[in-house]
Structure 1
């Protein structure tokens, strides 16, 4: 069984978005690192994730939430990565115009609350609570809003897609208001990922850490 897992957060949050999953994974015997992505560029996020992977002693499961799916599309090529777990996450094809692909699906409500300035985008409070953190208790959602990390507006196009080469798992968030659930199902099917559906909004690692932890443990189990 794989004993290492690296968790990669997505847009508008930091590594604390994995805080509930970490103790569950550790209790199951996993060595866990939650990456603190700068979100300043895809290259920067991949570099930080690769640094975390290089610190692992042995085979490692790499899990991503939200836009970090693009990060692990590149970092997942590391030789010690045995499997990829996408949690309500992007899963782009190499060289794909992800925005154009997403436009083929219903526009998620969160888009109306995006604020852009000085090369970064963030979410206004209402959109964060209503659309990004839906299903998370208000107090907890406000705590996450307080540590929101702005996201670079640079197009995060990846030249590789590690899911072609590594076994993949996907957790669809059925109540997602940030990435359309139908779009998530499309990406999971395209990857031929082992898929579960969680009755959660976008922040399923926060609202349903047990379900996400179980999926990561499946990815770590012997095939």
Structure 2
């Protein structure tokens, strides 16, 4: 009987050791944490200022947000400009793009800092594909309008300022849309016909936003892109191509969802 206290004590110590070992094992499990770095990429004919409504929401929610001001001179130049900003990030990053910017992040998204992609009314070609050819297969409203997309003698494109408000930004205030129509960044025509050499969405999780009333990119083409990429897809009814400006809350919510779940 005098050995009983020692037996009880030994059992208690064993239980404590097992509990401690279990706790250590649990602590050793990889913990997924939300991504805090967001990089935003604009599309053709516009600049990064259109992202401000989304930027304001994301920064208020505690995210570190950077914007790429790509030159729109070639896909190679635009990808390089994006990678330059990605190099400045201090860890895992969600890479977001609008419109032609989707082709840019499809290439630049292989950067090691990128853990997730968000396509906002954007193109997402595969290796060997280009958005211009894919757009001909599912033409947009704008592409079927003679004279809507114009080209300079040296090979740069822009959207006819008369067509811009109703085609690009139908759900923005008219004065804002008119200002944007006259502050376009002329975009090299060759960016639309340059084939992809890599496709980051084949190896990294992606999210896609369909702007249901998009006239610049056929909404059915957006759906097709995202279905092929197995993207987490959100359709925003009534949204124009300027969805990132007109519906910033919905767009920011998708980006934050990507930041929360990209590493799970």
In the aligned structure 2, how far is the partner of 1:122 from the partner of 1:197? Answer: 27
**Cα distance, 1:138 vs structure 2:** 0.6
Q: Larger relative contact order (C-alpha < 8 A, sep ≥ 6)?
A: 1
Give the TM-score of the pair, scaled to structure 2: 0.82
- Indicate if the aligned counterparts of 1:68 and 1:90 stay in contact, CA closer than 8 A: yes
Q: Does 1:220 align with 2:259?
A: yes
**1:63-113 Cα shifts (integer Å, max 9, x gaps):** 000001000011100011010000000000101143332222243225531
Aligned residues: 223
**1:89-144 Cα shifts (integer Å, max 9, x gaps):** 00001011433322222432255311101110001112111101111111111222
CA 1:111–1:26 in 2, change beyond 3 Å: closer, same or farther?
farther
Q: Does 1:11 align with 2:49?
A: no
**Moved runs in structure 1, 4+ residues, more than 3 A?**
none
SS in structure 1 of the partner of residue 137 of structure 2: coil
Q: Does 1:130 align with 2:166?
A: yes
In the aligned structure 1, how far is the partner of 2:178 from the partner of 2:162? Answer: 10
Which one has a larger percent helix, Structure 1 or Structure 2? 2
- Indicate if the aligned counterparts of 1:13 and 1:149 stay in contact, CA closer than 8 A: yes
- Indicate if the aligned counterparts of 2:41 and 2:82 stay in contact, CA closer than 8 A: yes
Match for residue 67 of structure 1 among 100, 104, 117 = 100
- Indicate if the aligned counterparts of 1:110 and 1:127 stay in contact, CA closer than 8 A: no
In the aligned structure 2, how far is the partner of 1:109 from the partner of 1:44? Answer: 26
Give the TM-score of the pair, scaled to structure 1: 0.97
In the aligned structure 2, how far is the partner of 1:55 from the partner of 1:107? Answer: 36
Q: Does 1:184 align with 2:222?
A: yes
> Where does residue 52 of structure 1 map in the other structure?
85
In the aligned structure 1, how far is the partner of 2:59 from the partner of 2:231? Answer: 24
Tell me, which stretches of 5 or more residues in structure 1 are unaligned?
Answer: none
Match for residue 86 of structure 1 among 119, 139, 146 = 119
RMSD: 1.2
Match for residue 105 of structure 1 among 117, 138, 151 = 138
Q: Does 1:150 align with 2:186?
A: yes
In the aligned structure 1, how far is the partner of 2:230 from the partner of 2:47? Answer: 29
